[in-house]
Structure 1
């Protein structure tokens, strides 16, 4: 999935919600997401 397709998908999902919040989380504090991100980049 291209970056622009991913951004479009995120936009569609967020537009369906009446309220949402984005929050930055340090990589060290979110090991599960860090692991999944590494897997995604290894498969490219």
Structure 2
């Protein structure tokens, strides 16, 4: 089994992995469908 560099935090009887997400690029255009399709009740 390959060794990974994932660390865990123990919460009660569970081990929760400490995961981080890469930063998102917030400058992406939402496009025609994102601008035109809105939720309308």
The structure with the largest alpha-carbon Rg is 2
TM-score (norm 2): 0.30
TM-score, L = length of structure 1: 0.29
